[in-house]
A and B are shown apart, each in its own frame.
Chain A
Amino acid sequence: MEPISTIEGEVAFLDRSDVDTDQIIPKQFLKRVERTGYGEFLFYDWMRDGEIELEPHPILVSGRNFGSGSSREHAVWALHQFGFQAVIAPSFSDIFYSNSTKNGFLPVALPEDVCREIATAGEAKIDLENQTVSWDGGEASFEIDGEIKRRLLGGLDDIALTLQTEDAIEAFEAGPGGTYGPVTTSL
Chain B
Amino acid sequence: MPKTMFEKIWEAHEVKENLLYIDLHLVHEVTSPQAFEGLRMTGRKLRRPDKTVATADHNVPTDGTPVAAMIKDALSRKQVETLEQNAADFGVPVYSLGSETQGIVHVIGPELGLTQPGMTIVCGDSHTSTHGAFGALAFGIGTSEVEHVMATQTLVQNKPKTMRINYKGRLGEGVTSKDLILATIGKLGTSGMTGYVVEYAGEAIEALTMEQRMTICNMTIEGGGKAGMIAPDETTFEYMRGKPGVPEDFEAAVERWKQLPTEEGATFDTEVDIDATAISPMVTWGTTPGMVIQVTDPVPDPEKMDSPADKEAAERALQYMGLEAGTPMEEIRPERVFIGSCTNSRISDLREAAGAIKGRKVADSVRAMVVPGSALVKTQAEEEGLDKVFEEAGFEWRGAGCSMCLGMNPDILIEGERCASTSNRNFEGRQGKGGRTHLVSPTMATAAAIEGHFVDIRNWS
Q: Which of A45, A65, A95 has a CB less than 8 Å from the CB of B142?
A: A95
Q: Which of A68, A102, A169, A173 has a CB less than 8 Å from the CB of B224?
A: A68
A-contact 0/1 string along B1-33, CB 8 Å cutoff = 000000000001101101101011000001101
Which B residues form the contact surface with A (CB < 8 A)? 12-13, 15-16, 18-19, 21, 23-24, 30-31, 33-34, 37, 42, 44, 49-53, 58-59, 73, 75-76, 78-79, 82, 91-93, 112-114, 116, 118-120, 124-126, 140-145, 147-148, 151-154, 156, 158, 160, 190-191, 194-195, 224, 226, 244-247, 288, 309, 313, 316, 406-408, 425, 427-430, 433
Determine if A31 and B408 form an interchain contact, defined as CB atoms under 8 angstroms apart.
yes
Determine if A33 and B78 form an interchain contact, defined as CB atoms under 8 angstroms apart.
yes
- Closest 10 A-B residue pairs measured CB to CB? A181-B23, A99-B142, A102-B144, A33-B33, A31-B75, A182-B245, A73-B142, A73-B143, A71-B126, A184-B53
Q: Which chain A residues lie closer than 8 Å to B34 at the CB level?
A: 33-35, 73
Please tell me if A177 contacts chain B, counting CB pairs below 8 Å.
yes
Closest Cβ of chain A to B50, distance in Å, is 4
Q: Which chain A residues lie closer than 8 Å to B407 at the CB level?
A: 27
- Between A and B, 27 residue pairs with Cβ closer than 8 Å are A18-B190, A18-B313, A27-B408, A30-B58, A32-B75, A33-B79, A34-B37, A35-B34, A64-B309, A69-B126, A70-B125, A70-B425, A71-B31, A95-B126, A98-B145, A158-B148, A159-B44, A165-B15, A168-B16, A169-B21, A173-B153, A177-B12, A177-B21, A180-B116, A185-B50, A187-B112, A187-B114
Determine if B141 and A45 form an interchain contact, defined as CB atoms under 8 angstroms apart.
no
Within 8 A of B (CB), among A95-110: 95, 98-99, 102-103
Closest Cβ of chain A to B317, distance in Å, is 10
Determine if B116 and A91 form an interchain contact, defined as CB atoms under 8 angstroms apart.
no
Q: Which chain A residues lie closer than 8 Å to B78 at the CB level?
A: 31, 33
Q: Which chain B residues lie closer than 8 Å to A18 at the CB level?
A: 190, 288, 313
Q: Which chain A residues lie closer than 8 Å to B15 at the CB level?
A: 165, 168-169, 172, 177
Closest Cβ of chain A to B156, distance in Å, is 6
Determine if A31 and B76 form an interchain contact, defined as CB atoms under 8 angstroms apart.
yes
Closest Cβ of chain B to A172, distance in Å, is 5
Closest Cβ of chain A to B334, distance in Å, is 20
Determine if A93 and B116 form an interchain contact, defined as CB atoms under 8 angstroms apart.
no
Within 8 A of B (CB), among A133-187: 145, 147, 158-159, 162-163, 165-166, 168-169, 172-173, 177-178, 180-187
Determine if B31 and A73 form an interchain contact, defined as CB atoms under 8 angstroms apart.
yes
| A15 and chain B: residue at smallest CB distance | B312
Q: Which of A22, A93, A145, A162 has a CB less than 8 Å from the CB of B158?
A: A145
Q: Which of B31, B156, B425 has a CB less than 8 Å from the CB of A22?
A: B425
Q: Beyond A93-B194, A182-B116, is A159–B152 a contact (Cβ under 8 Å)? A: yes
Q: Beyond A31-B408, A35-B34, A94-B226, is A73–B52 a contact (Cβ under 8 Å)? A: no
Q: Which chain B residues lie closer than 8 Å to A73 at the CB level?
A: 31, 34, 124, 142-144
Q: Which chain B residues lie closer than 8 Å to A98 at the CB level?
A: 141-142, 145
Q: Which chain B residues lie closer than 8 Å to A178 at the CB level?
A: 21
Q: Which chain B residues lie closer than 8 Å to A68 at the CB level?
A: 190-191, 224, 288
Q: Which chain A residues lie closer than 8 Å to B190 at the CB level?
A: 18, 65, 68
Please tell me if A132 contacts chain B, counting CB pairs below 8 Å.
no
Q: How many residues of A are counted as interface, with CB atoms below 8 angstroms from the partner's CB atoms? A: 58
Please tell me if A122 contacts chain B, counting CB pairs below 8 Å.
no
Determine if A180 and B119 form an interchain contact, defined as CB atoms under 8 angstroms apart.
yes
Q: Which of A27, A145, A158 has a CB less than 8 Å from the CB of B406?
A: A27
Q: Which chain A residues lie closer than 8 Å to B119 at the CB level?
A: 180-181
Q: Beyond A180-B23, A182-B116, is A147–B18 a contact (Cβ under 8 Å)? A: yes
Additional pairs, 4, CB under 8 Å, beyond known A26-B433, A158-B148, A173-B153: A16-B313, A20-B427, A72-B30, A184-B93
Please tell me if A58 contacts chain B, counting CB pairs below 8 Å.
no
Closest Cβ of chain A to B374, distance in Å, is 14
Please tell me if A17 contacts chain B, counting CB pairs below 8 Å.
yes
Q: Which chain B residues lie closer than 8 Å to A20 at the CB level?
A: 288, 425, 427
Determine if A184 and B429 form an interchain contact, defined as CB atoms under 8 angstroms apart.
no
Determine if B152 and A71 form an interchain contact, defined as CB atoms under 8 angstroms apart.
no
Q: Which of A33, A69, A186 has a CB less than 8 Å from the CB of B37?
A: A33
Determine if B428 and A71 form an interchain contact, defined as CB atoms under 8 angstroms apart.
no
| B9 and chain A: residue at smallest CB distance | A180
| B13 and chain A: residue at smallest CB distance | A177
Please tell me if A76 contacts chain B, counting CB pairs below 8 Å.
yes
Determine if B224 and A45 form an interchain contact, defined as CB atoms under 8 angstroms apart.
no
CA distance A99 to B156 in the complex (A): 12
Q: Which chain B residues lie closer than 8 Å to A184 at the CB level?
A: 24, 49-53, 92-93, 114, 245
| B136 and chain A: residue at smallest CB distance | A181
Determine if B151 and A159 form an interchain contact, defined as CB atoms under 8 angstroms apart.
yes
Determine if B151 and A76 form an interchain contact, defined as CB atoms under 8 angstroms apart.
no
Q: Which chain A residues lie closer than 8 Å to B91 at the CB level?
A: 185
Determine if A72 and B151 form an interchain contact, defined as CB atoms under 8 angstroms apart.
no
Q: Which chain B residues lie closer than 8 Å to A185 at the CB level?
A: 49-50, 91, 93
Q: Which chain B residues lie closer than 8 Å to A186 at the CB level?
A: 50
Determine if A64 and B191 form an interchain contact, defined as CB atoms under 8 angstroms apart.
yes
CA distance A185 to B125 in the complex (A): 22
| A1 and chain B: residue at smallest CB distance | B144
Closest Cβ of chain B to A187, distance in Å, is 6
Q: Which chain B residues lie closer than 8 Å to A39 at the CB level?
A: none
Please tell me if A5 contacts chain B, counting CB pairs below 8 Å.
no
Determine if A162 and B152 form an interchain contact, defined as CB atoms under 8 angstroms apart.
yes
Please tell me if A23 contacts chain B, counting CB pairs below 8 Å.
yes
Q: Which chain A residues lie closer than 8 Å to B114 at the CB level?
A: 181-182, 184, 187
Please tell me if A28 contacts chain B, counting CB pairs below 8 Å.
yes
Closest Cβ of chain A to B162, distance in Å, is 14
Q: Which chain A residues lie closer than 8 Å to B427 at the CB level?
A: 20, 22-23, 69
CA distance A45 to B415 in the complex (A): 12
